[in-house]
């Protein structure tokens, strides 16, 4: 299926969907996938842990933006009986890791899921899909909500707003100094304040959002850039429509010096921080617990200050 038409003049989408598909297909063909996919492997395991925390078996699950199966390899058939993996990059699905779960693979754009409404008991998504600004991400989340069954659960992870702040700051300072201005070289990320609104707007309830940081050390800025854009790419290079085609050599050297000066470790390496937001949302069902009626509380928050005294009195 096509990756979706290019935005018309005046459209809100900041991303080139066709380029994103090419990036992911190219990244999936790179050698030594275990070396390249360390971050997705780690986050996939953490999402699987959240699936295990829900004490139920899911007859049919969907992995949106599955890649090579970073979540599936951590799941068991006792938790998920059948799994469908969807990714826009056919090369990623061809190289998917085999698991004990019966699995079917579908090539499709994550913003146009080819499934009927109320189909899946569980939907998971790790980093590969939910990386855009809220107005872009909401399209994917709306699709996920639609294909979930009532009382189905969505568990996802996305890059947070502070991801790669060291790299972005270094590049911006170097460009301002050498070229008198700057343009984005890393795809934009969502702020945590937007997530609750994003999930609520899509129709989810009983929401849980938490954040985590993973820090990776590199020899220098050029290795960070190589990991993101080239040899060890995770298929998430910048694909904004207003991206700049290249950085001048002098600017890159200046950015590398700024990176090391501002953030460098004592051993000569430089850190790259990946902020990860984890989210859990449920599709409404009448059997779910409902919040108490406003004003129905029998205890005031002011009484909480007296709780120690009441406990002591009870023990006596």
Beta strands across the sheet bearing 120-126:
103-107, 83-87, 61-64, 120-126, 148-159, 270-283, 204-218
Show the tokens assigned to 288.
């779910």
Q: Is residue 291 part of a domain?
A: no
Over range 27-52, report the average pLDDT: 77
Show the tokens assigned to 196.
């609750």
What is the CATH number for 105? Answer: 3.40.50.150
Q: Is residue 246 part of a domain?
A: yes
* Residue pair 47/278 in contact by the 8 Å Cβ criterion: yes
Q: Which residue has the higher pLDDT, 7 or 85?
A: 85
* Residue pair 132/241 in contact by the 8 Å Cβ criterion: no
Which residues have C-beta within 8 Å of that of residue 261, sequence separation ≥ 6? none
Its sign, for the CA torsion 175, 166, 71, 153, is negative
Alpha helices in the chain (DSSP H): 17-28, 33-36, 38-52, 90-94, 134-147, 165-179, 192-202, 221-229, 249-263, 307-315
Residues 135-192 pLDDT 10s:
567 788 899 999 999 999 999 998 888 889 999 899 989 988 887 666 655 655 667 7
Judged against a pLDDT cut of 60, whether residue 73 lies above it is answered with yes
pTM over 0.95: no
**Rounded Cα–Cα distance for residues 109 and 21 (Å):** 9
Write out the residue range of the structural domain in which residue 183 sits. Answer: 17-286
Q: Is residue 68 part of a domain?
A: yes
Q: Is residue 232 part of a domain?
A: yes
How large is the greatest C-alpha to C-alpha distance in the chain, in angstroms?
77
* Residue pair 25/17 in contact by the 8 Å Cβ criterion: no
Q: Is residue 202 part of a domain?
A: yes
Give the count of domains, the chain: 1
Q: Is residue 140 part of a domain?
A: yes
Show the tokens assigned to 182.
């700057």
Q: Is residue 300 part of a domain?
A: no
**Rounded Cα–Cα distance for residues 219 and 274 (Å):** 17
Q: Is residue 298 part of a domain?
A: no
């Amino acid at each position: 299926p096509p990756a979706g038409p290019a935005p018309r003049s005046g459209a809100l989408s900041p991303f080139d969907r066709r380029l994103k598909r090419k990036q992911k297909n190219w990244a999936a063909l790179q050698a030594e996938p275990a070396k390249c996919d360390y971050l997705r492997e780690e986050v996939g395991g953490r999402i699987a842990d959240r699936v295990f925390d829900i004490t139920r078996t899911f007859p049919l699950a969907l992995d949106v933006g599955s890649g090579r199966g970073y979540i599936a390899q951590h799941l068991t058939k006792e938790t998920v009986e059948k799994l469908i993996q969807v990714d826009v990059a056919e090369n990623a699905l061809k190289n998917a890791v085999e698991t004990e779960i019966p699995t079917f693979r579908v090539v499709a754009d994550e913003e146009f899921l080819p499934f009927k409404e109320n189909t899946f008991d569980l939907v998971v998504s790790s980093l590969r899909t939910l990386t855009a600004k809220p107005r872009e991400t909401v399209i994917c989340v709306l699709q996920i909500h639609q294909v979930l069954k009532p009382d189905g659960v969505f568990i996802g992870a996305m890059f947070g707003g502070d991801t790669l702040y060291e790299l972005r700051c270094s590049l911006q300072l170097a460009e301002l100094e050498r070229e008198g201005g700057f343009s984005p070289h890393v795809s934009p990320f969502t702020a945590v304040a937007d997530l609750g609104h994003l999930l609520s707007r899509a129709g989810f309830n009983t929401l849980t959002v938490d954040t985590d940081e993973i820090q990776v050390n590199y020899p220098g800025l050029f290795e960070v850039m190589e990991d993101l854009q080239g040899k060890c790419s995770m298929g998430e290079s910048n694909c904004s429509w207003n991206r700049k085609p290249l950085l001048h050599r002098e600017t890159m050297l200046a950015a590398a010096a700024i990176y090391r000066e501002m953030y460098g470790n004592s051993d000569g390496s430089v850190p790259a921080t990946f902020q990860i937001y984890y989210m859990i949302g449920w599709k409404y069902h009448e059997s779910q617990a409902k919040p108490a009626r406003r004003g129905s509380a029998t205890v005031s928050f002011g009484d909480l200050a007296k709780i120690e005294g009441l406990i002591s009195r009870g023990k006596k």
